[in-house]
């Protein structure tokens, strides 16, 4: 099963894709996590991506597409995967369609986690992520068992620089301009599933599973 996650920054894509991945035994591939890991490791890709990420802009397609195509060709992707944060532009979506079509394949579900802008800023200000494994938490909605420490791996929880309110506003603008059109793109392909992302985390997950298994 090949799933892509659509939704505004902070809609809950990472939270839900982790659960979907655990349920079906599929790898969760987050382009944001890959860029952040490269940044921490000081790679050339990380350095190039940093300016865009800090400003809340998209990393250019030419830096993003190759790494995704490479990642989904790995053995652990043979039974499918969840793409969290890719595609984010029509060019990326077209590329994915093309690459999959080369092996007679396609995206099975595009899960759109729908959350209005007014909910996003509050959500983002409380987001903390594991500096080691990337797992997202929220200081109120989804606190870790031990404050400041990742339940998964014991890593330290940090606040992302691009989660500060000013940058979040720009990321929302970028989302509406460049990523939102993908909702129509996948709707036209007949694989769009939209869920109400303002419900609590368990309910959103249940709605997604119900749609995937309908
Ligand atoms: P969020 O989970 O809040 O939506 P991500 O962790 O997915 O944020 O992405 C963080 C940043 O990484 C984005 O603001 C963008 O700069 C970059 N990025 C992630 N995925 C892509 C992509 N598919 N195309 C271009 N830039 C991306
Ligand atoms: P995205 O990957 O779309 O940027 P995340 O999964 O990182 O979003 O979630 C953004 C923030 O909102 C995190 O702090 C997360 O714990 C919290 N969150 C996710 N889903 C919900 C929800 N349904 N209700 C309330 N808070 C949520
Ligand atoms: Zn962790």
Q: Is 59 in the pocket of ligand 1 (CB under 6 A)?
A: yes
Is 31 a pocket residue for ligand 1 (Cβ < 6 Å)? yes
The model's pLDDT over 137-164, given as tens digits with 9 standing for 90+, comes to 999 999 999 999 999 999 999 999 999 9
The answer to whether residues 62 and 92 touch, using CB atoms and an 8 Å cutoff, is no
In this structure, what token pair is assigned to residue 1?
A: 């099963």
3-state secondary structure 44-105: HHHHHHHHHHHHCCCCCHHHHHHHHHHHCCCHHHCCCEEEECCCCCHHHHHHHHHHHHCCCC
Instruction: Using DSSP, state whether 14 is helix, strand or coil.
Output: helix
Full-model pTM:
0.95
pLDDT average, residue stretch 6-30: 97
Q: For residue 122, is pLDDT > 90?
A: no
Distance 178 CA to ligand 3 centre (A): 30
- Looking at residue 74, what is its pLDDT? 96
Cα of 145 from ligand 1 centre, angstroms: 27
For domain 2-115+177-212, say whether CATH 3.40.50.300 is its number. Answer: yes
The CA distance from 88 to 67, in Å, is 14
Q: Is 35 in the pocket of ligand 1 (CB under 6 A)?
A: yes
CA nearest to 111, candidates 25, 37, 43, 213: 213
For 136, list phi and psi in degrees, rounded to 5.
Answer: -85, 145
Question: What pLDDT is attached to residue 106?
Answer: 97
Q: Ligand 1 centroid vs 55 CA: distance in angstroms?
A: 11
Instruction: Give residue-wise pLDDT tens across range 25-45.
Output: 999 999 999 999 999 999 999
Q: pLDDT band at 120, cuts 50/70/90?
A: very high
């Amino acid at each position: 099963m090949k799933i892509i996650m659509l939704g505004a920054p902070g809609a809950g894509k990472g939270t839900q894709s982790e659960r979907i991945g655990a349920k079906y035994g599929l790898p969760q591939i987050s382009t944001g996590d890959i860029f952040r890991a490269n940044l921490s490791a000081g790679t050339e890709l990380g350095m190039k991506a940093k300016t865009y990420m800090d400003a809340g802009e998209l990393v250019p397609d030419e830096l993003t597409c190759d790494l995704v195509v490479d990642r989904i060709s790995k053995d652990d992707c043979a039974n499918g995967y969840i793409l969290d944060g890719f595609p984010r532009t029509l060019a990326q979506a077209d590329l994915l369609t093309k690459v999959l079509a080369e092996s007679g394949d396609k995206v099975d579900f595009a899960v759109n986690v729908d959350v209005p802008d007014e909910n996003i800023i509050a959500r983002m200000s409380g987001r903390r992520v594991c500096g080691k494994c990337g797992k997202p938490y929220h200081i109120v909605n989804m606190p870790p068992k031990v404050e400041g420490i990742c339940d998964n791996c014991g890593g330290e929880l940090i606040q992302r620089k691009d989660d500060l309110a000013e940058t979040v506003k720009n990321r929302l603008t970028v989302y509406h301009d460049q990523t939102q059109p993908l909702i129509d793109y996948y709707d036209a392909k007949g694989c769009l599933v939209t869920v109400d992302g303002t419900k609590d985390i368990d309910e959103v997950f249940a709605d997604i599973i119900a749609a995937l298994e309908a």
